């Protein structure tokens, strides 16, 4: 069942151990997880639970030391080489010497898209993240939230069905974050991408996701997978409904269960 | 930039300049007074204090020439002589400038090449860096004559040997600066390239090179000043017939202290000019790369 044609990411008994001078650190152990096409999966947990590491394994930025993982039916390395995902980092990581549109053009240049194609894609993705008209600006001329939107546009510019987002809004204030969450859902509905989203905010995870993966540290592992019962259409007000609070409660319980306070 | 910032900068600089000139005049009096007293005694001349002070500032070969003597010498030899004349400071500056620029260009290119090698090849990183640092601990005054003599022996004379000394001095700051610059991209920016499956060449041209540009210009400012020193030093041991270095040497031979100081001024003006030009180019490049106006 893990390798059904609709599975985008499929991990079995996945483990990753870093060898450090203080002995081995078990960043991930025994992770079983399937992400299906079109899912919006959030990974939530305290720091050190391996949520970012898991995302980086999918992206082939780290190599698993145990178990199996496939991305689009390939190994992560093959998936990376066939450019099957876009990655949004915690920081926008825009190149300061490039304008916004040149930043979005960066992956397109590297992947060899023609210049007319590049132009069309830049325009389309700028529109997707509501940054039309800002293409000629340099990153420093934009606010933090706009910079992060530009970096999302950059990840959407090429044809990857999978979007990996590592706490993309973690450094932004709550108001901007709410706004971006709302926009992200609209964007997800329009583009029909599969999204893996790392966060440490419970409301953010519940608001955005179709599934929430709760993780806990030492060793990094999955403690609960919660299927959201919320409808796909989600106005911001949905966060005050009993249904929303119920899911948030379950997430909080899961986090508490996985966290040993004796340490 | 605030509109009054240039004025804010000029006033402190002028204050220091006036202080230097004042100290210089006082020093000139005291340095030249003993010799002047000697002269007066031999000629049996008695003069008032003011006359005496005036004379200490008007000797043809003073120990320390007064500022106005140097200024008038610089003015005469810069503006009142044909630029092809052997006495023209413009001519000598031009000779030094040309070897400075050639040496600087070669030094910058060498420095960049070395940095690229060090950043990309671990073996070079380990083997080359200690040698590069050691190369700069050798006193250039000891190396320069050997370079000139050895190259002269194989019939390489004129501009090139001097330029090579400039190269020797200028490649170092560029190499060190560029190693730092090419390694300046953050991990996250490199990870980004990895997620795109970018080739090494793409990462180099689209990330490492643009990231290193500010480092390049900072080190080029140091390198151009070092190149000028190299060119002047290169002119000293050869008995070169032209250039600021030869002017300094000739001045020393014939105790033409005013000429020495004039040559020094010419050298300083040249250095300031070169550093300013590099600075202006740096600013233009920075603007075109989206630099935030300071």
**A window 60-79, beta carbon within 8 A of B:** 60-61
Indicate the Cα dihedral angle A174, A180, A183, A185, nearest 10°.
-80
Residues B47 and B144 in one domain: no
In terms of Cβ atoms closer than 10 Å to its own Cβ (0-12, 13-18, 19+), residue B12 is exposed
Confidence of residue B254 (pLDDT cuts 50, 70, 90): confident
Domains of chain A: 1-84+162-263 (3.40.50.300), 93-159 (no CATH)
How many contacts does A have with B, using Cβ atoms within 8 A? 54
Confidence of residue B60 (pLDDT cuts 50, 70, 90): confident
Lookup: tokens for B158: 């004129």
Residues B100 and B59 in one domain: no
Residues B51 and B111 in one domain: no
Question: Residue A83 and residue B210: Cβ atoms within 8 Å?
Answer: no
Structural domain for B58, as ranges: 5-64
A81: chain B residues, CB-CB within 8 Å: 197
Q: What separation, in Å, do the N-terminal and C-terminal C-alpha atoms of chain B show?
A: 6
Distance (Å, whole) CA B205 – CA B185: 12
Question: Residue B290 and residue A98: Cβ atoms within 8 Å?
Answer: yes
Residue B284 counted as domain residue:
yes
Distance (Å, whole) CA A68 – CA A55: 14
Handedness of CA A141, A144, A146, A150 (dihedral sign): positive
Question: Residue A110 and residue B193: Cβ atoms within 8 Å?
Answer: yes
Q: Are the CB atoms for A218 and A26 separated by under 8 Å?
A: yes
- Chain B contact present for A95, CB below 8 A: yes
pLDDT of residue A20: 87
For chain B, how big is the Rg over CA atoms in Å?
Answer: 25
Residues B164 and B231 in one domain: yes
Residue B240 DSSP one-character state:
-
pLDDT of residue B240: 62
Residues B16 and B95 in one domain: no
Residues B135 and B230 in one domain: yes
Q: Which of B198, B211, B292 sits opposite A110 (nearest CB)?
A: B198
pLDDT of residue B215: 96
Question: Residue A96 and residue B290: Cβ atoms within 8 Å?
Answer: yes
Question: Residue A61 and residue B202: Cβ atoms within 8 Å?
Answer: no
| pLDDT tens digits for range B68-99 | 999 999 998 888 888 777 788 889 999 899 99
Average pLDDT, chain B: 89
Residues B141 and B15 in one domain: no
What are the φ/ψ torsions at residue B121 (nearest 5 degrees)?
-120, 120
Q: Reduce the DSSP state of residue B18 to 3 states and report it.
A: helix
Residue B70 counted as domain residue:
no
Substitution target in B194, B196, B294 with the highest count of A β-carbons within 10 Å is B196
Residue with tokens 């500056």: B93
- Domains: count for chain B: 2
Residues B194 and B140 in one domain: yes
- Chain B contact present for A134, CB below 8 A: no
Q: What is the strand order of the sheet A85-88 is part of? A: A85-88, A162-166, A194-199, A40-44, A211-216, A221-227
Residue B9 counted as domain residue:
yes
pLDDT of residue B4: 57
Residue with tokens 């009054």: B4
Q: Reduce the DSSP state of residue B140 to 3 states and report it.
A: helix
pLDDT of residue A1: 42
Residues B169 and B283 in one domain: yes
Residue B84 counted as domain residue:
no
Nearest chain A residue to B200 by CA: give it.
A110
- Chain B contact present for A232, CB below 8 A: no
pLDDT of residue A33: 92
- Chain B contact present for A98, CB below 8 A: yes
Residue B40 counted as domain residue:
yes
In three-state form (DSSP H/G/I as H, E/B as E, the rest C), the secondary structure along chain A is: CCCCCCEEEEEEEEEEEEEECCEEEEEEEEEEEEEECCCEEEEECCCCCCHHHHHHHHCCCCCCCEEEEEECCECHHHHHHCCCEEEECCCCCCCCCCCHHHHHHHHHHHCCCCHHHHHHHHHHHHHHCCCCCCCCCCHHHCCHHHHHHHHHHHHHCCCCCEEEEECCCCCCCHHHHHHHHHHHHHHHHHHCCEEEEEECCHHHHHHHCCEEEEEECCCCEEEEEEECCCCCCCCHHHHHCHHHHHHHHHHHHHHHHHCCCCC
Closest CA to A176 of A149, A212, A139: A149
Give the residue, A237 or B191, on which the prediction is more confident.
B191
Asked if residue A219 has a cis previous peptide bond (ω within 30° of 0), the answer is yes
A78: chain B residues, CB-CB within 8 Å: none
pLDDT of residue B1: 46
Separation in Å, CA of B29 to nearest CA in chain A? 56
A113-117, A122-126, B51-55, B141-145: least confidently modelled range: B141-145
Residue B71 counted as domain residue:
no
Closest CA to B165 of B181, B182, B142, B187: B142
Q: What is the CATH number of the domain that holds B226?
A: 1.10.3720.10
Question: Residue A95 and residue B186: Cβ atoms within 8 Å?
Answer: no
Q: Are the CB atoms for A226 and A212 separated by under 8 Å?
A: yes
Residue B206 counted as domain residue:
yes
Residues in chain A where the model's pLDDT stays below 50: 1-3, 262-263
pLDDT of residue A263: 44
Question: Residue A96 and residue B194: Cβ atoms within 8 Å?
Answer: no
Residues B262 and B131 in one domain: yes
pLDDT of residue B238: 63
pTM for the model: 0.84
Q: Which of B186, B197, B290 sits opposite A97 (nearest CB)?
A: B290
Residues B185 and B239 in one domain: yes
A21-25, B12-16, B278-282: least confidently modelled range: A21-25
Question: Residue A61 and residue B206: Cβ atoms within 8 Å?
Answer: no
What is the pairing mode between strands A40-44 and A194-199? parallel
Substitution target in A79, A81, A93 with the highest count of B β-carbons within 10 Å is A93
Residues B134 and B54 in one domain: no
Separation in Å, CA of B216 to nearest CA in chain A? 15
pLDDT of residue A259: 64
- Chain B contact present for A93, CB below 8 A: yes
Question: Residue B206 and residue A93: Cβ atoms within 8 Å?
Answer: no
Neighbouring CB atoms inside 10 A of A64's CB total 23
Q: Which of A80, A96, A139 sits opposite B195 (nearest CB)?
A: A80
Residue B227 counted as domain residue:
yes
Neighbouring CB atoms inside 10 A of B133's CB total 12
Substitution target in A55, A60, A76, A95 with the highest count of B β-carbons within 10 Å is A95
């Amino acid at each position: 069942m893990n390798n059904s044609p609709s599975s985008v990411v499929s991990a079995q008994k996945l483990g990753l151990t870093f060898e450090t001078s203080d002995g081995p650190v078990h960043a991930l152990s025994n992770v079983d997880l399937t992400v299906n096409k079109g899912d919006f999966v959030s990974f939530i947990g305290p720091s050190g639970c391996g949520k970012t590491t898991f995302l980086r394994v999918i992206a082939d930025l780290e190599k698993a030391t145990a178990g199996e993982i496939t991305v689009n039916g390939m190994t992560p390395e093959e998936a990376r080489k066939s450019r099957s995902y876009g990655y949004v980092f915690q920081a926008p990581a825009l190149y300061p010497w490039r304008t916004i549109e040149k930043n979005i053009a960066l992956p397109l240049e590297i992947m060899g898209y023609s210049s007319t194609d590049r132009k069309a894609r830049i325009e389309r993705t700028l529109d997707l993240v509501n940054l039309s008209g800002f293409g000629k600006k340099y990153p420093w001329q934009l606010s933090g939230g706009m910079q992060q939107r530009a970096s999302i546009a950059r990840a959407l510019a090429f044809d990857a069905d999978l979007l990996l987002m590592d706490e993309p809004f973690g450094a932004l204030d709550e108001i901007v974050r709410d706004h971006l969450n709302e926009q992200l859902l609209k964007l997800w509905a329009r583009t029909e991408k599969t999204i893996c989203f790392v966060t440490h905010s419970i409301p953010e995870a519940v608001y955005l996701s179709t599934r929430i993966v709760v993780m806990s540290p030492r060793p990094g592992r999955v403690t609960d997978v919660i299927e959201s019962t919320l409808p796909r259409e989600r106005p911001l007000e949905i966060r005050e409904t009993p249904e929303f609070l119920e899911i948030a409660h379950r997430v909080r319980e899961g986090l508490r269960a996985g966290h040993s306070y004796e340490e | 930039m605030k509109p009054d910032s240039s004025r804010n900068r000029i006033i402190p600089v002028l204050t220091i300049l006036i202080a230097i000139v004042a100290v210089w005049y006082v020093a000139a009096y005291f340095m030249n007074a003993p010799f002047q007293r000697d002269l007066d005694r031999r000629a049996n001349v008695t003069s008032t204090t003011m006359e005496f002070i005036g004379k200490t500032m008007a000797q043809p070969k003073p120990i320390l020439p007064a500022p106005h003597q140097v200024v008038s010498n610089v003015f005469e030899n810069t503006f009142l002589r044909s630029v092809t004349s052997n006495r023209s400071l413009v001519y000598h500056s031009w000779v030094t400038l040309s070897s400075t620029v050639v040496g600087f260009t070669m030094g910058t290119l060498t420095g960049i090449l070395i940095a690229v090698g060090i950043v990309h090849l671990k073996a070079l990183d380990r083997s080359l860096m200690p040698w590069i640092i050691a190369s700069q601990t050798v006193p250039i005054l000891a190396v320069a004559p050997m370079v000139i003599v050895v190259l002269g022996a194989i019939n390489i004379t004129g501009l090139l040997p001097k330029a090579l000394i400039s190269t020797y001095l200028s490649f170092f700051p560029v190499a060190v600066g560029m190693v730092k610059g090419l390694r300046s991209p953050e991990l996250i920016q490199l990870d980004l390239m990895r997620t795109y499956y970018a080739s090494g060449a793409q990462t180099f041209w689209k990330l490492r090179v643009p990231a290193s540009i500010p480092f390049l210009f900072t080190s080029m400012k140091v390198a151009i000043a070092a190149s000028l020193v190299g060119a002047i030093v290169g002119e000293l041991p050869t008995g070169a017939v032209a250039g600021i270095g030869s002017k300094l040497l000739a001045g020393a031979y014939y105790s033409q202290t005013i000429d020495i100081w004039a040559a020094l001024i010419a050298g300083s003006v040249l250095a300031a000019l070169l550093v300013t030009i590099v600075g202006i180019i740096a600013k233009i490049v920075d603007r075109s790369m989206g630099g935030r106006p300071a």
